[in-house]
Amino acid sequence: MADYGRQSPDLTSPQIPELEHIASMSLGNSPSPPPPEDGGVSSTNGGGPEPAPTSPGPVEPETPKEVQEVLASDEFATFLKKRSDLEDQHAKGLKKLCKSTQDSVHHSDHRQGTFAQSYEEMLTIHERMAENGIQFALSLHQMHEDLLEVAAVAEKHRKGWKQNGLAAEQRLTDVENAMRKSKSKYDSLAEEYDRVRTGEAKQGPRVFGIKPKSAAQHEEDLLRKVQAADTDYMSKVQAYQSEKATVETSTRPEAVKALQDLIRECDSGTTLQMQKFASFNEKLLLSNGLVISPLKTVTQPGQHSRSLKEVVQAIDNKKDLENYIISVHSKVPARSSEPKYERNPVLNPQQNVSLNQVTQMHQQQGRPQSQQRQGSPLPAQQQQGSMSSRTGGYDSISSPTGFPGPAQDFTPPPGLAPAPRPSSGPGHERSFSHGAMLNQPSMQPPPQYNVRNSIQAPPTQSRFNGSGMGGPPQLGALPFQNQTAIEQSPPQQGGQIGFQGSSRGDQSPVRSGSPHGAPAPKTEGAIARGPVFGVSLERLYENSKGPVPMVVYQCIQAVDLYGLAVEGIYRLSGSSAHVNKLKHLFDTNEDAPILDFRNPENFFHDVNSVAGLLKQFLRDLPDPLLTSEHYAGFIEAAKNDDDVVRRDSLHAIINALPDPNYATLRALTLHLHRVIEHSAVNRMNSQNLAIVFGPTLMGTAPGANIQDAGWQVRVVDTILQNTYQIFDED
């Protein structure tokens, strides 16, 4: 409780003339004895003054001042208590509402995007307002307790002084009553003595056996009694006068002064609490105002929080709709092939379709006849099966052997229409016309070879906008690779696409071993590097002639293009079916055009599945990326509390990694640093990424302690925070 003091100079109240009278009445005093009629007590010897006559009883007074102050303090304390309860209920209810609403916002069925972000930030603002309300309620409750203590102290002191005053007044009343009794006895004896002395007294009844007193004896006895009564009456009057003087000069002034002090203290305490109440109200409104619309500092304009108006204005409905459509696109079930009219062979007579007839149909479609291959006539069904086999497996966007994509504007005649083929997977339909197979250019530029011993594919037509798009990216162009001697290998033959290509001359179709569009088996010229997952980086480097595996390159490229703005990238899991399918494709042929992740359709428009594929590849490594050999060194370096020493220690160990591990770690770290640069959108800072990649990059060494998990996170976090100090950006 605050120490309000006895009284303060600025809170002194003026003297109230009737205060003494009010205090006297509040103490419950008995009526004062009346003043003597003759100015004293009449006696034969003038021994004392006559007692004053009794005055009439006082009129019932109003509520005393000190009682009013106590009542006012109690009333204001009750008001503060109720106001505190209301504010506390309001603040707690608001906080509970914000909590439940936030849980609803985080639900998967709730609208996400900028709306969810603004909504959550608005709820945070309301939570801060609720905190202000709770603090205000606690302050009011403390003021309520302080006021109750002030009122209790004032009431206790008032009752104490009342008890003392009543006791003093009661003593004065008792002395006054004793004086009146003594005066009555004294008056009656004096009258009887006067009658005996003057002879007016009658002879009393005679008692048998007792000799009556003579008149002189009777008068002498009465005189002695009158003198004794006079002495007693005088002492009673003196005692009354002494007690009355004590009450008037000491007891009553002290009580009045004490009551004045209590009144001033109670007034001061109540006024102080009212001033605090006003100040707390201003503070509450100001705090809520600053929460709703914070001040924008001039020195650091980008560090201030957004106002409620700015938060609401940040909602972008168009962007939310586009992001939602993109997110659910991968969940749309695969569309079945469109129905096509196929004439039943029984309605057509068996006839041979000559190449001249095919050429005439091509000329009708505006195709040059020189592009067609001359051959002997074939039956219609054989021709149909042959062309179907040529197109078998031609479901990729671009061909690594240099063939352009199939034409989109040619429709085969009824007798040459191919049978419908099942789609290669969800979101990967390849509905191409078979006429393009007969319309290939006669001359093709010689294939180009890169350092990875694979054929560089020329640009082909995209299925989306018709723009040129090459094959999968070549690691020879990576900035961190060393230039190696260019090695040439025989071009890929129609193992997957159904064509046998050469550097010059015609691109002639070759029959596939399986009819009706089934993929043809690999021929002798096909490059088979074996599986990718679960293989050491050294072996992958020997097979691919590149330090960074193709799967890592493609995953990094996809996330850089489509995943930097995805919230929770690398933290959220993609579809396991998508991950397993992509894993199988990489293990089968990592150079397949369908694994060019620059086209989002190739990874089902699900960038989280690409992130999961990258983490799966790193987890499946026989030796972790940071190697088991250097595991203990990394853990010891992470235990360094000095940031510079820890960074330099980790840098030295990283420099000692094998070349494939170093190159892959460098590419991954630079990529994760780009993810961190967009953490304001994707909410993946270095700490979050370190939690995801710590066990993945370091693995578990034999005999490792479970407490190493925290040090693993610290290792990766330090590497990510010092990306450009450890690795060169170029």
The answer to whether the CB of 392 falls within 8 A of the CB of 519 is: yes
Residue type, 436: A
The answer to whether the CB of 623 falls within 8 A of the CB of 450 is: no
pLDDT at 207: 53
Beta bridge partners of 449: 455
Distance in angstroms (rounded) separating the CA atoms of residues 494 and 489: 15
The answer to whether the CB of 561 falls within 8 A of the CB of 647 is: no
pLDDT at position 152 over 80: yes
The answer to whether the CB of 137 falls within 8 A of the CB of 87 is: yes
- 385: which 2 tokens? 């099966």
Residue type, 305: S
Residue type, 615: K
Nearest to 439 by CA among 387, 378, 394: 387
Average pLDDT value for residue range 195-219: 69
Q: If residue 186 lies in a helix (H) or strand (E), which one and from where to where? A: helix 114-198
Q: 428 by DSSP, 3-state: which?
A: coil
Nearest to 244 by CA among 61, 60, 52: 52
Residue with tokens 């939570």: 127
What Å distances lie between residue 42 and 184, 359, 463, CA to CA? 12, 164, 138
pLDDT at position 295 over 80: yes
pLDDT at 489: 36
Mean pLDDT score across all residues of the chain: 71
Distance in angstroms (rounded) separating the CA atoms of residues 480 and 487: 20
The answer to whether the CB of 723 falls within 8 A of the CB of 669 is: yes
Distance in angstroms (rounded) separating the CA atoms of residues 24 and 616: 94
The answer to whether the CB of 229 falls within 8 A of the CB of 185 is: yes
Using the Cα atoms of residue 570, residue 573, residue 578 and residue 584 in order, give the sign of their dihedral: positive
pLDDT at 252: 86
Using the Cα atoms of residue 594, residue 599, residue 604 and residue 607 in order, give the sign of their dihedral: positive
Residue 250 per-residue DSSP state: I
Distance in angstroms (rounded) separating the CA atoms of residues 270 and 143: 10
- 495: which 2 tokens? 């193992």
The structural architecture, per CATH, of the domain 537-726 is: Orthogonal Bundle (1.10)
Using the Cα atoms of residue 584, residue 589, residue 590 and residue 596 in order, give the sign of their dihedral: negative
pLDDT digits (tens, 9 = 90+) for 685-712: 999 999 999 999 998 777 667 778 899 9
What Å distances lie between residue 103 and 85, 99, 385, CA to CA? 27, 6, 60
The answer to whether the CB of 55 falls within 8 A of the CB of 32 is: yes
Residue 455 per-residue DSSP state: E
Mean pLDDT lowest among 132-136, 463-467, 649-653: 463-467
| Beta strand 378-379 pairing with 468-469 | unpaired
Residue ranges per structural domain of the chain: 14-199+213-292, 537-726
DSSP of 476-515: GG-TTSPP------PPP-TTSSSB---SSS---B---SSS
Tell me the residue length of the chain: 730
pLDDT at position 98 over 60: yes
DSSP of 461-479: E-TTT--EE-SSPPGGG-T
Higher pLDDT, 210 or 449: 210
Percent of the chain with pLDDT over 90: 32
pLDDT digits (tens, 9 = 90+) for 32-57: 444 444 444 444 444 444 444 444 44
Using the Cα atoms of residue 697, residue 702, residue 703 and residue 706 in order, give the sign of their dihedral: positive
Distance in angstroms (rounded) separating the CA atoms of residues 89 and 97: 12
Residue with tokens 């993929």: 519
pLDDT digits (tens, 9 = 90+) for 372-405: 333 333 333 333 333 333 333 333 333 333 333 3
Nearest to 154 by CA among 255, 253, 66, 81: 66
Higher pLDDT, 7 or 632: 632
Q: What is the C-alpha R_g of the chain?
A: 55
pLDDT at 208: 58
Distance in angstroms (rounded) separating the CA atoms of residues 456 and 243: 127
Mean pLDDT lowest among 143-152, 158-167, 329-338, 544-553: 329-338
Nearest to 67 by CA among 18, 30, 23: 23
14-199+213-292 maps to CATH 3.40.50.410: no
pLDDT digits (tens, 9 = 90+) for 590-638: 888 899 999 999 999 999 999 999 999 999 999 999 999 999 999 999 9
The answer to whether the CB of 375 falls within 8 A of the CB of 390 is: no
pLDDT at position 419 over 50: no
Distance in angstroms (rounded) separating the CA atoms of residues 563 and 68: 74
Higher pLDDT, 690 or 494: 690
Average pLDDT value for residue range 172-200: 88
On the 0-12 / 13-18 / 19+ scale of CB atoms within 10 A, 591 is buried
pLDDT digits (tens, 9 = 90+) for 224-268: 888 999 999 999 899 999 988 988 898 888 888 888 888 888 888
Distance in angstroms (rounded) separating the CA atoms of residues 686 and 718: 8
pLDDT at 45: 41
| 505 Cβ neighbours under 8 A, 6+ residues apart | 442, 443
